[in-house]
């Protein structure tokens, strides 16, 4: 089968399309025939070595398709079932291995493309808005990179929970998409000072929560956007990791809360994974949550897809089709 392999960490040029054996499922594992694979920033971190993975490896954690084979002791799915997972092993491939416990059935109404487009970023938006800082009607939140994969989903989920959403984006086109996704106010943070704008929009009060996936370039200013006892949710680092900082800052800026959550800890059990995924995929199936696929490329174009994502030229989801 064809797969995108990484033999050395580095730029997009290290991604190689190679012929490798189809994986064989061990006990508790399944093999999925991949119909669509999701491209995520975590793949960039794996490719660069920011999150180390033993070399060589097949890149990609997220894909949807059809169960091809099951290993011993698998009771949760059968060959022929349509499934999706955000934590499989080697998703940028024609076939991928998964722990049977970590795959979710795809509803009939949700295609493999849409399933692969929504599961990781959607579960992320879901836990951020419903668990990390559970938004309530009347809360105001600031969502950075609001036209990105997580961003467009988070704007929709936050506004359906009754929150007032302020989004930041880099271009007018992205501003339009963020507004369509439910952002009430949009700040072009490449042009305007997002801290001053957030204070102006909130009448000086600040927001209850900042959902910050941008990291290095936004982190400190984001603290200044928060109301007293507000929560800083740093959940990514698209612009680079945040450096060391003094916790005393949290006191000075208003007894702030800081958390650095990751999806794995919010779907740690199969029960929690299914509960969140069923609600999320239910919203997709009844069309109350829109999934934007901004770029779809063949598997062989994985390097180009990474280049686009890292250059901030994508909106919504990036998919690879084997």
Ligand X SMILES: NC(=O)c1ccc[n+]([C@@H]2O[C@H](COP(=O)([O-])OP(=O)(O)OC[C@H]3O[C@@H](n4cnc5c(N)ncnc54)[C@H](OP(=O)(O)O)[C@@H]3O)[C@@H](O)[C@H]2O)c1
Residues in touch with ligand X (CB under 6 A):
40-42, 120-121, 124, 145, 147-151, 169-170, 174, 213-214, 217, 235-239, 261-263, 309-310, 312, 314
In the complex, the smallest distance separating the C-beta of residue 42 from ligand X, rounded to whole angstroms, is: 5
Q: Which is nearer to ligand X, 251 or 257 (CB)?
A: 257
The answer to whether 70 and 84 have CB atoms below 8 angstroms apart is: no
Q: Which residue is nearest to ligand X (CB)?
A: 148
Nearer to ligand X, 77 or 165 (CB): 165
CB nearer to ligand X: give 37 or 147. Answer: 147
H-state helical runs in 2-148: 41-48, 112-127
- Rounded to a whole number of angstroms, the minimum distance from the CB of residue 91 to ligand X is 14
Give the nearest distance from C-beta 237 to ligand X in angstroms: 5
**Based on CB atoms, which residue is closest to ligand X, 74 or 295?**
295
CB of 100 to ligand X, least distance (A): 22
Contacts of 94 (CB under 8 A, 6+ apart): 1, 2, 3, 22, 33, 34, 299, 322
Q: What is the closest distance, in whole angstroms, from the C-beta atom of residue 267 to ligand X in the complex?
A: 10
What is the number of other CB atoms lying within 10 angstroms of the CB of residue 7? 12
For residue 66 the two structure tokens come to: 């059809």
**Least distance in Å: CB of 182 to ligand X?**
16
DSSP E strand stretches across 159-238: 164-169, 185-188, 207-212, 226-234
CA distance 317 to 306: 12
Which residue's CB is nearer to ligand X, number 82 or number 317? Answer: 317
Q: Which is nearer to ligand X, 29 or 314 (CB)?
A: 314
- C-alpha distances (whole Å) from 109 to each of 29, 41, 132, 283, 317 are 26, 27, 29, 11, 19
**CB contact at 8 A, 209 and 141:** yes
């Amino acid at each position: 089968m064809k797969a995108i392999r990484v033999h050395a960490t580095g730029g997009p040029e290290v991604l190689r399309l190679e012929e490798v054996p189809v994986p064989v499922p061990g006990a508790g594992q399944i093999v999925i025939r991949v119909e669509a694979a999701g491209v995520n920033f975590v793949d960039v971190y794996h490719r660069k070595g920011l999150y180390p993975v033993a070399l060589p490896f097949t890149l990609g954690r997220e894909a949807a398709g059809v169960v091809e084979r099951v290993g011993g002791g698998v009771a949760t799915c059968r060959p022929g079932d349509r499934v999706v997972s955000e934590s499989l092993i080697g998703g940028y491939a024609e076939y991928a291995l998964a722990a049977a416990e970590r795959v979710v059935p795809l509803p009939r109404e949700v295609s493999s493309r849409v399933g692969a487009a929504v599961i990781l970023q959607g579960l992320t938006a879901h836990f951020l808005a419903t668990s990390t800082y559970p938004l309530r009607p009347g809360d105001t939140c600031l969502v950075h990179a609001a036209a990105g994969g997580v961003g467009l989903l988070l704007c929709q989920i936050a506004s359906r929970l009754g929150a007032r959403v302020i989004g930041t984006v880099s271009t007018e086109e992205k501003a339009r998409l963020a507004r369509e996704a439910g952002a009430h106010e949009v700040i072009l943070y490449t042009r305007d000072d997002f801290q001053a704008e957030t204070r102006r929009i909130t009448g000086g009060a600040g927001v209850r929560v900042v959902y910050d996936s941008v990291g290095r370039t936004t982190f400190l200013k984001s603290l200044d956007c928060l109301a007293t006892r507000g929560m800083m949710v740093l959940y990514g680092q698209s612009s680079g990791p945040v450096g060391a900082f003094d916790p005393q800052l949290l006191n000075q800026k208003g007894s702030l809360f800081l958390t650095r959550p990751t999806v794995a800890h919010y779907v740690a059990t199969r029960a929690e994974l299914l509960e969140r995924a069923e609600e999320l995929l239910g919203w997709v199936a009844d069309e109350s949550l829109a999934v934007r696929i901004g770029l779809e490329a063949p598997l062989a174009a994985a390097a180009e897809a990474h280049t686009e994502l890292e250059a901030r030229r994508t909106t919504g989801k990036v998919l690879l089709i084997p």
